[in-house]
Amino acid sequence: MSRPVVEVTGLTVRYAGATALDGVDLAVGEGELVALIGANGAGKSTLVKALSGLLRPHAGTITVRGRLAQVPEGREMFGDLTVDDNLRLGGWRNPEGRRGRDTSPIYELLPELSDLRRRRAGSLSGGQQQMVAIGRALMARPDILVVDELSLGLAPLVVTTLVGHLRTLNTERGLAVLLIEQNARLALDMCERAYVLETGRIALHGAAKDLARDPQVTAAYLGGHVEAGGGLEAGGHVEVGGGQEAGGRLEAGGHASGGHVEAAT
Amino acid sequence: MSDLLGYIVTGLGIGAGFALVASGLVAIYRVTRVVNFAQGAFAVLAAMLTASLLGSGVPHGVAELGGVALGAITGLLVGVVAIGRPGTSPGTSLIVTLGLGVLAYAIEILIWGDQPRSYPGVPGVAEVGGARLQAHYLLIVAVTGPVFAVMAWFFARTDLGKALSACASNRYAAQVVGIDVRRMGLLAFAIGGALGGLAGVLTTPVQQVTFDSDVALIVNGFAAAVLGGLTRPGVALAGGLLLGVAQTLVAGYGGGAYQVEVALVLMLTVMIVQAARTGPVAETAR
């Protein structure tokens, strides 16, 4: 791993006595694509909030070298404001001040947004909103983008476009991405390294390729037994990610326990 | 006929005061979700200070600006107490503002006594289309119009205004992009204080101010603001003007004693209709 942009050590967060994160260690290097997968309630959202400084950890350290911007779960648009104003506000903390709030570079990076700039963000489709959320985060000129649930509720084709954009930003601008995803297939396909979060702890981590073949991971998150690993290569195409997940879930019914099935939804 | 026109222009002048109070309520509510019951106190304090300043020889214009500035500062202070502590719920903050409004009575009586105060505004009588009315009403309308225009420009065109609107639109997202929502809330309280102060300063020459003038202002201002679900300044303006005109007409053709009842009936009607249609006010605001 290259020099880390984000380094988390021993991160512990408690809500009213309940431990949401318990000694999490995680790092993302410069220009690296890293996935964090885990079931509902594993602590993914808590980790995102802690990384963005919206939540004070009970113990542990978070070191961010450079700037971190978040694409929040559920897109979180400023629904009453225009797309352009949404983007502009993304540059609120940009150190360049007024000049840093110029939105034109975003329309070059994400040309789909150009025609939407005067539209109310609340009136857009989910995919369009997700693109606005990414653009808004990019306005902060981040070194690392924390994307919380990229694919949730979006059509597979839309997800493909979004992943394409993230990959381009990664290769052309050296943008690091920490992708928090329920769709493990998508996350492991897109990223180089991955962490598996289970009930507040990092259960596994390693190269995404290896994790995709790991029997534990396949059973719990990829909705199938090891044979599915072979299928993954073929099914690794992002456009089938969403559909695959649903199909995999049915298939998993026989093999995985109830908890595992839940993890795949 | 000329009576009617006179009532309408007078009503617009009175309504402009309500609209200013209402827009102050809206400015604060949109950003903080707090219904600020100390809003009327901003007007009273500003008017009292202006009266004192004018009485001690400070020229017109400067004295009024001093009053508005006191409104803004008071707004900020109320904001600090009401929302300064992280995690205070809007309901708790509402009660705090109510308490501060009562505290303001004590302070006003301590400093200025309990007698009504007033000061001269624009002197003389103006004629509008054959109707004769106090010229000061025209000043109220002439100031309120541009103030609303500037507010509209501020919220729609400036980055700071957009950041305030962003807090109103999606508080969580505002935090995500790094906007300090608490500081924005305090700014909203200061703006609300200035608007309330302006209402008091403008209307005192035609309506004396006493320590408890805030009740009529808050009732009418709230009635106007609630028309737009407490979130739409344009509707609050229209509502304020409508209330002012309705009350003047009631006073002119009926009896002056029923003025506040007009506002109460309107407010209750709107709230009942809204509640029946979409649930509580807080819900419609989202």
Question: What does DSSP assign to residue B58?
Answer: P
Percent of chain A with pLDDT over 70: 84
Q: Model confidence at B129, in pLDDT bands (50, 70, 90)?
A: confident
Across the interface, whether the CB atoms of B169 and A80 are under 8 A apart is answered: yes
Place of tokens 């989910």: A126
Position A92 pLDDT exceeds 70: yes
Which residue's structure tokens are 């539209």?
A: A119
**Spatial separation of the C-alpha atoms in residues A127 and A70, rounded to whole Å:** 17
Q: What is the pLDDT of residue A1?
A: 67
Residue A231 has pLDDT above 60, yes or no: no
Task: Tell me the pLDDT tens digit for each residue of A170-208.
Answer: 999 999 999 999 899 999 999 999 999 999 999 999 999
Interface of A to B at Cβ within 8 Å reads 52, 54, 70, 72, 76-81, 85, 88-90, 92-93, 98, 101, 136, 140
Cα distance between the two ends of chain B:
44
The backbone torsions φ and ψ at residue B35, rounded to the nearest 5 degrees and listed phi first, read -85, 115
Give helix then strand counts, H and E, for chain A: 11, 9
Is residue B286 included in any domain, yes or no?
A: no
Q: B131 pLDDT band (50/70/90 cuts)?
A: confident
pLDDT of A149 over the 60 cut: yes
End-to-end CA distance of chain A: 31
Contacts with B162 from chain A: Cβ below 8 Å: 81, 85, 88-89
Q: What are phi and psi of A182, to 5 degrees?
A: -85, -30
B284 is a domain residue: no
| Predicted confidence band of residue A256 (pLDDT cuts 50, 70, 90) | very low
Distance CA A115, CA A229 (A): 41
Distance of CA A186 to CAs A145, A202, A212, A240, B166, Å? 17, 19, 11, 9, 32
Measured over the CA atoms of residue A202, residue A203, residue A206 and residue A210, the dihedral's sign is negative
CB-based contact A68:A142 (threshold 8 Å): yes
> Could A98 and B159 be called an inter-chain contact, meaning their C-beta atoms sit closer than 8 Å?
yes
Residue B139: predicted pLDDT: 94
B218: containing domain: 2-278
In angstroms, how far is CA A152 from the centroid of its own chain?
A: 10
Q: Is the pLDDT of residue A165 over 90?
A: yes
- Rounded to whole angstroms, the Cα distance separating B163 from A230 reads 50
In three-state secondary structure terms, B19 is helix
Count of C-beta atoms within a 10 Å radius of residue A77? 24
Q: Is a pLDDT exceeding 50 seen at residue B88?
A: yes
Look at residue B35 and tell me if it is in a domain: yes
Q: Which residues in chain A touch residue B172, judged by CB atoms under 8 angstroms apart? A: 72, 76
Report the CATH number that the domain containing residue B55 is assigned in CATH: 1.10.3470
A4-15 and A59-64 as β-strands: parallel, antiparallel, unpaired?
antiparallel
Question: Looking at the whole model, is its pTM more than 0.95?
Answer: no
Over 70: is that where the pLDDT of B238 sits?
A: yes
Q: What is the DSSP letter of B231?
A: T
The residue among B130 and A161 whose pLDDT is bigger is: A161
Instruction: Give chain B's domain count.
Output: 1
Average pLDDT over residues B44-64: 97
Given a cut of 70, whether residue B50 has pLDDT beyond it is yes
- Which chain B residues are closer than 8 Å to A80 by Cβ? 165, 168-169
Give the total residue count for chain A: 265
The amino acid that residue A104 corresponds to is S
For residue B143, the model assigns a pLDDT of 96
Q: What is the pLDDT of residues A114-139, one digit of tens each?
A: 999 999 999 999 999 999 999 999 99
Average pLDDT of every residue of chain B: 91
User: B170 vs A77: CB contact, 8 Å cut-off?
Assistant: yes
Confidence of residue B279 (pLDDT cuts 50, 70, 90): low
How much is the ipTM here?
Answer: 0.85
Q: Are B37 and B214 in contact (CB under 8 A)?
A: no
From the number of C-beta atoms within 10 Å of its C-beta (0-12, 13-18, 19+), residue B253 rates as exposed
H/E run at residue A11: strand A4-15
Residue B131 counted as domain residue: yes
**What confidence score (pLDDT) does residue B227 get?**
85
- List phi, psi (to 5°) of B60: -55, 150
Cα–Cα dist B167/B190, whole Å? 16
Query: Which residue in A132, A126, A89 sits closest to A107, CA to CA?
Result: A132
**Pairing mode, strands A193-198 and A201-207:** antiparallel
CB pairs under 8 A between A and B: 53
> Does residue B283 lie in a domain region?
no
* Integer Cα distance of A179 and A156 in angstroms: 17
